[in-house]
Chain A
Amino acid sequence: MTRILVLMIALAGIFSLAACGGGNNATGGGNGGNGGGNTAAGGDGSGDDGSGDDGTSAGPEKLIITAIPDDNADKLKENYGKVAKYLESKIGIPVEYMHVENYAAAVTALANGKAHLSWMGGVTTVQADQQTKGQAEVVCCRDIDKKFHTYFIANVDSGIGEVKNLKDLAEAAKGKSFTFGSKGSTSGHLMPRHFFTTQSGSKPEDVFSNVAYSGSHDKTLAQVADGSFAVGALNFATYDKSSDELKAKAPIIYTTPNYVDYSWVAHKDLGADLIGKIRTAFLEMDKSDEGKAILGFFKAGSFVKADLKEWDGIKAVMEAGVDIGG
């Protein structure tokens, strides 16, 4: 008898849960429609045809561009689609954007001929140079890339205020949780780690209770803002253009010194001619309306000339080693 009673209660519980679900349905209905916009995430444009990799001296029939995935996939696909279209109109051969899932894949794609031109971060620019055995050429970078910096942000409820340097942060945030962006990111991992270790004298792993890698700058901001992590590091460009609501929940507590970051990197196989054309196309981007729209996405005023030598600083930091404890 008691067992039947227990069963009845359990059943009643389940039904009432179901009823709850039904009740919320009406209020949650609006949510269902919201996300309809980004249905194409993940799939299209992913993978590649492998068709353009025979271009050695004559140049490829089709230019394949790629980019490190430092923002959400839909945005990247939309905007690099525009870049591809713009380049196509300037250099006269078909251009296609290939989406990759992580930073290393962009470097590998460039190194083994799966892509010809890639939008790289600081670390990935150096890695591209190393992995192509010196066959990488920096086409150009943004005006803002020459004075790039990282923000350390903290959740507003975490009780960590603005700090003078990262030594103070190490003391204030000891035992709290921390997140970098992507593992291969310059502004989201390498440089904040470098500044943290040189200034505080200890590894983030030894100071924070938990050091995570959110995967991208926008996720870092979201996760610090919602309290999943107390402290995080992300690049200034992503932070500056995000909503005020997020900024209020995750204020800046420290700004790092400047360093050089992103660049367009081409494989020298393309030939000096074609690389020259691509460079001109980027450098005069701020002259057309179409180009200005693209620059808006890149958060830049214009693209400027750059040389691989400018990335020597990043290279030195990388050579000093990235010790994550494994």
Chain B
Amino acid sequence: MTGTTGTVDRYAAKRPWGHFAALVIIAVLVAGSFWAADWDFTALTDSVKRARALERALELVVSFSHPDFSAKWASRCWELTLETLSAAVFATFMAIIFAYLLAMGASRAVCVGEESPRGWLRSFPLRSPRAALCSLCRLILDVLRSVPDFAWAVILVAVLGLGPVTGAVALGLNVTGILGKLYSEFWDNINEKEYEQIRSLGAGRLKTFLYGIRPLASRSVQSFTLMRAECAIRNAAVIGAVGGGGLGAEIMYQIGMGKWDKITTLMIFTLGLTLSADLASNFIRRQLRNDPNHPRAVRTRSTAMSVARGYIGVGFGLCIVMWAVWFMGWGNSAGPKGKAKNYLEPLANLASGEELSRFEFFEDLLSPDFDMVVWGGQDIYAIRANPFPDPDAPLGMFMITKETEGIRMFEHYGVLDVFDGDAWTAWEKELSKWFVWRVIKSAAVPVSMAIIGTLLGVIGAMLLTYPHSVAFQLESQQFTGETPHPVIRALRFVQMVLARGIGLVSRGVPEVMWAFLFIAFFGPGLLAGAIAIALHSLGVLVRVFSETVDNVPYRNFEQGFRGSRMTCFAYTAGPMSWRDWMTYSFFQFESNVRMGIVLGIVGVGGLGFFFTFNFEWFRFEKASTYLLVMVAITVVIDRISRGLKLSRIKS
């Protein structure tokens, strides 16, 4: 090895090909998502449809000037808002308890602890009973997390009936999965050396957890729990669309009827709810933040006050939880004749085991249909007499159905025809006879919707970050050295307020509600879904994007400033925050895929739609196959994100 090659190699290793690879991958994904799913752009290209969509959108915008605030309607909205809030809080509370317990099982550091096996044995799930328990808990969390709350609601409505408690349990199951995974990751990511001393003092696994691991991760656990609670409130506002109570059912109904003034009122209440949830969680966060060095920490002089802060924060949270339980059980007078209705009763019955027998109804969900018969290559036809005979029609007297259509993969094209395009089409056609392949294909809809939606959302968020950021709009003189005219400062302020308003509205309104609106404008389809996802992602991302920009110390901009705030943003702030931006974007993508499935359930099509269809036709074994694919998608994306080492948890 000579010195030159070494240098060249080192430069070659540093060559930034990764970005180009990323661009190519994104381009391929975009092309793939347009190719794999049926996009219908006629709502944009066809003038009649476009005019209709515009007309409806305009109706909505106009109706914002006269929302229906009649006493009767407003009080109904208020009741529904309370119902939504109580369901969300109840769900989060239950989820925290169960997630904590499951996460203790799923965390390797907590459940398995120190072990002797080395090499491949270390990742073999059955190496010890503890390890088996750990894997089991992880599996449970994976399933809970990857089946969206809407799908849980579709299943649970049959057992618990309609109402907020169904929505709460459905949300709770999904949130349990998400929180459990996060908690266990937080605990696993803590460096063993940090709690070594507790172990060395002879503490067992439980004590090591309680006195070592738990306190070290408590801040992340707390902040992500609050973040999830906010999400739960947003989802609770729409889960009524599939029978979960709260605002959702009403929103869907009124959009169907085109009563824009009522929809506006509902949207205002939803926004109010999500924004106050934002404020409340910030309040709790501030009270519980015990790091005196944090720039935004509350500093109190007296010891009594600083001790009290923790109690205030926890007390506030507990009060809300207690109110939610009371409201669900005894306080909700939205029932018939203004009588308080106990929504907790079905849940209590469930706990008593009496209603558990009703789950027998879903036995078939445990035996998914893999349709292996088709691989036999035989066509099986069934001919039945048509009960509604029609002598004129070609098949009028009989109903001929293909019970099984055998797959003959290489009948027309051999394995060697791989370079022939027609061969691939023919193979795909053969493969489509297999039910499982059709299920997998239907996943193209949520995934391509998520790809396009996330991409649009990310681009939009990057552009909006500039007017959204405090650093570049209000405090730019700190690094530009200019002294802007008061009018210009006022304009920048207005610009920022507008940008923040856009961000606030687009993240405050849940994706599903956006989807309802765009379905009303464009008709059901991927276009409506992708735009809804893009809009919501824009709102969520612009907040975190501009937070990362605002957290960059101004002296870093000072050096990069070349006379224009815009170029400074593009060439200094952007690259500095790029890594964080990409991490957030990827997680947004992950949750957007789940949202794609949910949008399918509410009418966009694809995986979610077929799942509900088969469920409603009592073909549980088929519905179960769709559920399995939902789990598979989440697990695959999870592994990819681990492979890319994009972790939310900074070590």
Q: List A residues at the B interface (Cβ < 8 Å).
A: 4, 7, 11, 14, 17, 20-22, 24-25, 28-29, 31-33, 35-36, 39-50, 72-73, 98-105, 107-109, 111-112, 114, 127, 130-131, 165-167, 183-184, 191, 194-195, 197-201, 209-210, 212-213, 215, 219, 226-228, 257, 259, 312-314, 316-317, 319-326
Whether A198 pairs with B386 at a CB distance below 8 angstroms is yes
Q: Which of these, A36, A197, A200, contacts B70 with CB under 8 Å?
A: A36
A195-B358 Cα distance, complex, nearest whole Å: 36
Residues of chain B within 8 A (CB-CB) of A184 are 616-617
- In the complex, residue of chain B having the shortest beta-carbon distance to the beta carbon of A199: B393
Whether B336 pairs with A7 at a CB distance below 8 angstroms is no
Once A50-B349, A326-B613 are accepted as A-B contacts, the answer to whether A317 and B161 lie under 8 Å apart by CB is no
CB distance from B158 to the nearest CB of A (A): 4
A219-B341 Cα distance, complex, nearest whole Å: 31
Q: Which of these, B163, B254, B488, contacts A47 with CB under 8 Å?
A: B163
Residues of chain A within 8 A (CB-CB) of B349 are 50
Stretch at the interface among B58-66, B274-282, B410-418, B578-586: B58-66
A326-B157 Cα distance, complex, nearest whole Å: 23
Q: Which of these, A39, A167, A210, contacts B394 with CB under 8 Å?
A: A167
Whether A101 pairs with B616 at a CB distance below 8 angstroms is no
A201-B612 Cα distance, complex, nearest whole Å: 27
Once A44-B334, A194-B388, A317-B387 are accepted as A-B contacts, the answer to whether A109 and B488 lie under 8 Å apart by CB is no
State which residues 214-261 of B face A: CB under 8 Å. 240, 242-243, 245, 249-250, 253-254, 256-257, 259-261
Whether A4 pairs with B382 at a CB distance below 8 angstroms is no
Q: Which secondary structure dominates chain B's binding surface?
A: helix
Whether A198 pairs with B393 at a CB distance below 8 angstroms is yes
- The answer, yes or no, to whether B346 is at the interface (CB within 8 Å) is yes
Whether A257 pairs with B491 at a CB distance below 8 angstroms is no
Residues of chain A within 8 A (CB-CB) of B259 are 35
A316-B254 Cα distance, complex, nearest whole Å: 37
CB distance from A170 to the nearest CB of B (A): 11
CB distance from A22 to the nearest CB of B (A): 6
Whether B158 pairs with A104 at a CB distance below 8 angstroms is yes
Whether B72 pairs with A104 at a CB distance below 8 angstroms is no
Whether B159 pairs with A104 at a CB distance below 8 angstroms is no
Once A22-B65, A183-B613, A319-B384 are accepted as A-B contacts, the answer to whether A199 and B394 lie under 8 Å apart by CB is yes
State which residues 601-625 of B face A: CB under 8 Å. 603, 609-610, 612-618
CB distance from A114 to the nearest CB of B (A): 6
A29-B66 Cα distance, complex, nearest whole Å: 7
A323-B433 Cα distance, complex, nearest whole Å: 12
Whether A36 pairs with B616 at a CB distance below 8 angstroms is no
Q: Which of these, A24, A101, A197, A226, contacts B62 with CB under 8 Å?
A: A24
Once A36-B72, A108-B361 are accepted as A-B contacts, the answer to whether A131 and B388 lie under 8 Å apart by CB is no
- In the complex, residue of chain A having the shortest beta-carbon distance to the beta carbon of B59: A28
A128-B131 Cα distance, complex, nearest whole Å: 45
Whether A42 pairs with B250 at a CB distance below 8 angstroms is yes
Residues of chain B within 8 A (CB-CB) of A32 are 66, 68, 70, 261
Whether B158 pairs with A228 at a CB distance below 8 angstroms is no
Once A25-B66, A47-B341, A199-B394 are accepted as A-B contacts, the answer to whether A101 and B249 lie under 8 Å apart by CB is yes
Residues of chain B within 8 A (CB-CB) of A22 are 65
Count of CB-CB pairs between chains A and B under 8 Å: 210
**Of listed B52, B79, B158, residue having the most chain A CB within 10 A:** B158
Whether B618 pairs with A104 at a CB distance below 8 angstroms is yes
Whether B438 pairs with A165 at a CB distance below 8 angstroms is no
Residues of chain A within 8 A (CB-CB) of B254 are 41
A210-B341 Cα distance, complex, nearest whole Å: 43
Once A39-B76, A326-B613 are accepted as A-B contacts, the answer to whether A112 and B159 lie under 8 Å apart by CB is yes
- In the complex, residue of chain A having the shortest beta-carbon distance to the beta carbon of B439: A326
Residues of chain A within 8 A (CB-CB) of B9 are none
Q: Which of these, A17, A25, A46, contacts B162 with CB under 8 Å?
A: A46
- In the complex, residue of chain A having the shortest beta-carbon distance to the beta carbon of B495: A7
A173-B92 Cα distance, complex, nearest whole Å: 50
CB distance from B42 to the nearest CB of A (A): 9
- The answer, yes or no, to whether B570 is at the interface (CB within 8 Å) is no
A127-B157 Cα distance, complex, nearest whole Å: 17
Stretch at the interface among B10-18, B118-126, B395-403, B544-552: B395-403
Once A32-B68, A257-B390 are accepted as A-B contacts, the answer to whether A112 and B250 lie under 8 Å apart by CB is no
Whether A130 pairs with B242 at a CB distance below 8 angstroms is no
A313-B387 Cα distance, complex, nearest whole Å: 5
Residues of chain A within 8 A (CB-CB) of B442 are 326
**10 nearest CB pairs, A to B:** A313-B387, A47-B163, A326-B610, A104-B616, A108-B158, A42-B249, A199-B393, A21-B65, A46-B162, A101-B243
Residues of chain A within 8 A (CB-CB) of B261 are 28, 31-32, 35
Mask, B77-90, CB within 8 Å of A = 1, is: 00110000000000
29 inter-chain pairs at a CB distance below 8 angstroms, sorted by A residue, are A7-B494, A31-B63, A31-B66, A32-B68, A32-B70, A35-B261, A39-B73, A43-B334, A45-B336, A46-B162, A47-B162, A47-B163, A47-B343, A73-B253, A98-B161, A99-B162, A100-B243, A101-B242, A105-B158, A108-B361, A127-B618, A130-B618, A165-B392, A183-B613, A198-B388, A198-B390, A212-B523, A228-B523, A313-B387
A314-B386 Cα distance, complex, nearest whole Å: 10
State which residues 304-338 of B face A: CB under 8 Å. 334-336
- The answer, yes or no, to whether B48 is at the interface (CB within 8 Å) is yes
Whether A201 pairs with B525 at a CB distance below 8 angstroms is no
State which residues 364-422 of B face A: CB under 8 Å. 382, 384-388, 390, 392-396, 399, 401, 403
**Of listed A43, A44, A108, residue having the most chain B CB within 10 A:** A43
- In the complex, residue of chain B having the shortest beta-carbon distance to the beta carbon of A31: B261
Q: Which of these, B161, B393, B523, B610, contacts A165 with CB under 8 Å?
A: B393
A108-B85 Cα distance, complex, nearest whole Å: 28
Q: Which of these, B65, B385, B491, B498, contacts A4 with CB under 8 Å?
A: B491
CB distance from B626 to the nearest CB of A (A): 8
**Of listed A47, A103, A197, A200, residue having the most chain B CB within 10 A:** A47
CB distance from A173 to the nearest CB of B (A): 16
CB distance from A247 to the nearest CB of B (A): 19
Residues of chain B within 8 A (CB-CB) of A41 are 249-250, 253-254
A76-B147 Cα distance, complex, nearest whole Å: 32
- In the complex, residue of chain B having the shortest beta-carbon distance to the beta carbon of A166: B393
CB distance from A182 to the nearest CB of B (A): 9
CB distance from B600 to the nearest CB of A (A): 11
Whether B388 pairs with A201 at a CB distance below 8 angstroms is no
Q: Which of these, B63, B161, B392, B618, contacts A109 with CB under 8 Å?
A: B161
Residues of chain A within 8 A (CB-CB) of B539 are none
Whether B249 pairs with A25 at a CB distance below 8 angstroms is no
- In the complex, residue of chain B having the shortest beta-carbon distance to the beta carbon of A312: B387
A171-B285 Cα distance, complex, nearest whole Å: 64
CB distance from A215 to the nearest CB of B (A): 7
Whether A326 pairs with B334 at a CB distance below 8 angstroms is no
Residues of chain B within 8 A (CB-CB) of A33 are 70
Residues of chain B within 8 A (CB-CB) of A319 are 384
Residues of chain A within 8 A (CB-CB) of B495 are 7
A39-B386 Cα distance, complex, nearest whole Å: 46
Whether A48 pairs with B161 at a CB distance below 8 angstroms is yes
Whether A131 pairs with B618 at a CB distance below 8 angstroms is yes
- The answer, yes or no, to whether B40 is at the interface (CB within 8 Å) is yes
Q: Which of these, A25, A112, A321, contacts B361 with CB under 8 Å?
A: A112
Once A42-B240, A326-B438 are accepted as A-B contacts, the answer to whether A198 and B163 lie under 8 Å apart by CB is no
Residues of chain B within 8 A (CB-CB) of A111 are 361
Residues of chain B within 8 A (CB-CB) of A101 are 157, 162, 242-243, 249
